[in-house]
Structures are given as C-alpha cells and as structure tokens.
Structure 1
Amino acid sequence: MITLHHCPQTRSMRTLWLLNELEIEFRVRVHAFDRSLRDPEYLSLSPAGRVPALEIEGERMFETGAITEYLCERFSPERLGRMPGTPDRMAWLVWVHFAETLSQHTAALTQQHVALREDAMRSPIVMKLEAARVGKCYDAIEARLSTPVENRDYLLTSGFTAADISVGQAVYMARHFVTLDRHPAVADWYARITGRDSFAPSLPEPGTGIYDREFYPPWPME
C-alpha cells in the first residue's frame, strides 16, 4: 500500500496529482500545516518536517522530485515518465525539477503574505523581488511552450508527462501571487492540463488550504 502524507495547498499536492493520474491504489493522510510536522513520529518519515512524505511497501521517501522519478519509473515509465535512453529524457528531468525553482519563490511569497501575521514583519521589497522571480520562471515556461515545433501542447514534444504535473502544480501555487496575464501560452497550457480528470481531486476541500483567497495583490511600497 502507498500512503501519501499531505498538507493541502503545499508541494505534496504535486504528488497527489501524480498519484491520481497514475490511477493506482493509494491512501492519503492529511496533516495540519503547523508544528505537528516537527513531531518525532513525523520526522521519522521526513527528517526536515516537510511534506510530502511517501510510505511504500515499508520504505519511506521524501522530496517531490525524487518521489516523481520513482513513481514514474515504477508505474508509468513510458506514459508519465521518460526513461534513460529515450529522446525526451533530458528535457523531462529538467522540467520535473524546474518545478522546485518556481516553488521556492512562491514559498517566499507565501511566507510574506500569509505566514507573517503582523504587517511590520512583512517586506514589500522582498515581495517585489520574489514576484519578479516568479515572472522570470513564467518567462522560461512561456519560451518553452512557444517553441515552433509540432505538438507543443505540453512541455515535452512527445506529450503530457509528469513534468507537466510538476510544473503545473508549481504554477497553481504561484498564481496566488502573480497572474498569467502576460503569459498567454502558459495560461493556455495551464488550462489544458488542469482540465484533466486527475487535477480536481488534488485540490483542497474548501477552507482546508493555506490560502484564504485566490489572489494576494502586491504589498504597497512606502
């Protein structure tokens, strides 16, 4: 049995979406996004106290990129994964892990807008810089999707893969702070992949996520 340890609207949503797309049997244990992730029992699953953590046949995994690679190699090497020796292997690895580049900037914005409760603790300068970095990540995805080749509906020419799930989930989070208005190719691709049946079950139940609104406008500079 596979058990996913999950907090709604965090990186573990990436693994949940992938598991839904794989259509394999699994169960989800939902955790509060709080200090309970520092409990010794949970730290035995994920030593940094982060989600996701994955239990599978007595083994334990953490880190979304590693989990994605393992699950694809085992359960979907040709459809959602791209194995060594295949033409798109290099691009698949790049985009699976590029998701974390975007996620780290979104995490900084989440800290500024959501986690810091007092206005005096927030930094408009940090918010502006991190939002600009999210925009640069959107630029990279836009450039990839705008490449004039056939079948560029997804990040890989060979079709939809876990790379789209990984980056798509990162964009889902980033859209809470930076819109896709200036990135039409990204917007079209995002609509395409989130229209899949596997996406909706990955979303949080109302009131269970870490965000209390769809969009957080830029914090005003003094």
Structure 2
Amino acid sequence: MIRLHHVPFSRSFRILWLLEEMGLSADLTLYSITDGSLRAGEFKAISPAGRVPALEIDGITIYESAAIVEYLTETRPEHGLGRLPGDPERVQFLEWLGFAETQAAALQSLNMHHLFMGDPTPASPVTLKLEAARLGATLKALEGKLDRQEWLLSSGFSAADTMLGFNLFAAPYYVHLDRFPNVQAYMKRIEARPAYQRARALDGEQEFYKKDFYEVPNG
C-alpha cells in the first residue's frame, strides 16, 4: 500500500506527480490548511512539523519533499527520474532539489503574508516587496537556464522537474511571468505531460488563492 498525506495545490503535489510519472498509485488522505487537521496529534505523529507531504510506502513513513524524492528515485532507479551517486548529473540534480526549496520559501512567505496574516497583523509592504523580488530572482535564474535546454537537467526530464515545476504554478499569483518566456514555455511542456495531467485530476481544488494576482499594498 502507498498512502500520500496531501493538501491540494500544496507541496505534496510534487510527490503525487512523481508517483504518477513512476506509474505508482497512492491512496490520498486529504487535509486542509485552515481546519486544524495538520496540527492534530495524530498527524504530527506522522509528520512532526505538521506539514505535507508525508508518504507511507515500503513499510515506512517519509516526510519532507526532497527526502521523499530521493528515496523514490533511489529505490526505483528503473524509471530514470533520479541521478544516483556516480552519475555526472548527480550534483546538479541535488542542487535543483535545493533550489526548488529556496524558491518555495519565498512563495511560502508571500502566502503567509498575503493569505493568512490579516488583521490585527497586517502584511508589511516592505517584506512583501522583498519576497516578491526574491521570487523574481529565482525565476530570472531559471529563465537563463531554460534558454539552453528544455528541462532542468540537460539529459532530460527528471524528478527535479517535479520538485521545482510545482512552484511555477503558484508564482504567477505574485510575479508577472510575461518577462520570462522560457519559464512559460517550460510550464507548457509540464502541462503537456500525461502524468502531470493525471496528477492534477487527482489533486483536488485549491483553497488558498481568492484573486488572480496579489499586488503589494501601498508598495
């Protein structure tokens, strides 16, 4: 049995998508960011920080996206989605896993300030402007990389794309993508993948974003 603890349109989508790329079906246990279910003791026994994803597989439970990605790709190398020790792209693969989390941290901060910190703790325009700039800087770096190749690794699609690619569908709520044509083309390639489409169909409706774009107030 494979069970994925999941919040729709959250970081756990990375794992849902990767499982689909591997042809592995998982039972989904769904949670909400806003109903307190992630803070319940039962879930914290699975994921101590009260965060998704958490994956039950092979008789163990793993939390943290990058750890799950490494475990899945190293225990199932036949899918060719990881880069094992000794592979010339191993370091790049690991760097992109880390880069994905750097980018996600900026998104998380923007989400927290725009979506979850209302009165009496209004969002700081200075912080929002800084975090949007940080997110934009990661997109600029990605734009340059994708000018030379279709996927994050020159050899082709990998699990690094599932880690980072997920972020890009949240980024347009905070940064206009019109100045990043290579990123937009990359997103279209992602959307064309059958495994991505299957994962999105399983994902569920996102409940975070109520507007198409979040401007910096008084910015």
State the TM-score, normalizing by the size of structure 2: 0.92
The one-letter amino acid paired with 1:169 is F
Q: Please identify, of 72-81 and 176-185, the stretch whose mean Cα deviation from structure 2 is larger.
A: 72-81
Whole-angstrom CA distance in 2 between matches of 1:20 and 1:182: 31
1:82 is the counterpart of 2:83 = yes
Distance apart, 1:212 and its partner CA:
2.5
Tell me what 1:126 maps to: 127
Whole-angstrom CA distance in 1 between matches of 2:11 and 2:48: 16
> Does structure 2 conserve the Cα–Cα contact (< 8 Å) formed by 1:103 and 1:174?
no
- CA, structure 1 residues 101+62, in 2 after alignment: closer, same or farther (shift >3 Å)? same
Q: Secondary structure at the match of 2:29?
A: strand
Distance apart, 1:220 and its partner CA:
2.7
Any residues of structure 2 matched to 1:20-31 within 5 Å, and which? 20-31=20-31
> Does structure 2 conserve the Cα–Cα contact (< 8 Å) formed by 1:38 and 1:49?
yes
- Identity fraction in percent: 39
- CA, structure 1 residues 90+78, in 2 after alignment: closer, same or farther (shift >3 Å)? farther
Structure 1 counterpart of 2:159, from 151, 157, 162: 162
Distance apart, 1:12 and its partner CA:
0.7
Whole-angstrom CA distance in 1 between matches of 2:62 and 2:121: 38
Whole-angstrom CA distance in 2 between matches of 1:210 and 1:15: 19
Any residues of structure 2 matched to 1:160-199 within 5 Å, and which? 160-199=157-196
Whole-angstrom CA distance in 2 between matches of 1:118 and 1:202: 36
Distance apart, 1:25 and its partner CA:
2.7
Tell me what 1:18 maps to: 18
> Does structure 2 conserve the Cα–Cα contact (< 8 Å) formed by 1:124 and 1:219?
yes
Q: Secondary structure at the match of 2:28?
A: strand
Tell me what 1:41 maps to: 42
The one-letter amino acid paired with 1:29 is T
In structure 2, runs of 5+ residues without a counterpart are none
Matched length:
216
State the TM-score, normalizing by the size of structure 1: 0.91
> Does structure 2 conserve the Cα–Cα contact (< 8 Å) formed by 1:8 and 1:210?
no
- CA, structure 1 residues 78+4, in 2 after alignment: closer, same or farther (shift >3 Å)? closer
> Does structure 2 conserve the Cα–Cα contact (< 8 Å) formed by 1:128 and 1:218?
no
Whole-angstrom CA distance in 2 between matches of 1:28 and 1:76: 24
| 1:144-189 residue CA offsets vs partner (Å, 9 max, x unmatched) | 1124xxxx11111100111111110011122221122111111111
Whole-angstrom CA distance in 1 between matches of 2:118 and 2:214: 16
Q: Secondary structure at the match of 1:198?
A: helix
Distance apart, 1:89 and its partner CA:
1.1
Whole-angstrom CA distance in 1 between matches of 2:69 and 2:78: 11
The one-letter amino acid paired with 2:37 is S
Q: Please identify, of 65-74 and 109-118, the stretch whose mean Cα deviation from structure 2 is larger.
A: 109-118
Whole-angstrom CA distance in 1 between matches of 2:184 and 2:25: 31
Q: Please identify, of 3-12 and 54-63, the stretch whose mean Cα deviation from structure 2 is larger.
A: 54-63
| 1:97-134 residue CA offsets vs partner (Å, 9 max, x unmatched) | 21100000001111111112338611111111100000
> Does structure 1 conserve the Cα–Cα contact (< 8 Å) formed by 2:7 and 2:30?
yes
1:212 is the counterpart of 2:213 = no
1:32 is the counterpart of 2:35 = no
Distance apart, 1:75 and its partner CA:
2.0
Tell me what 2:4 maps to: 4
Distance apart, 1:43 and its partner CA:
0.5
Distance apart, 1:76 and its partner CA:
3.6
Q: Secondary structure at the match of 2:177?
A: coil
- CA, structure 1 residues 120+96, in 2 after alignment: closer, same or farther (shift >3 Å)? closer
Whole-angstrom CA distance in 2 between matches of 1:201 and 1:117: 35
| 1:16-59 residue CA offsets vs partner (Å, 9 max, x unmatched) | 11111111132111111132211111011100000111111331
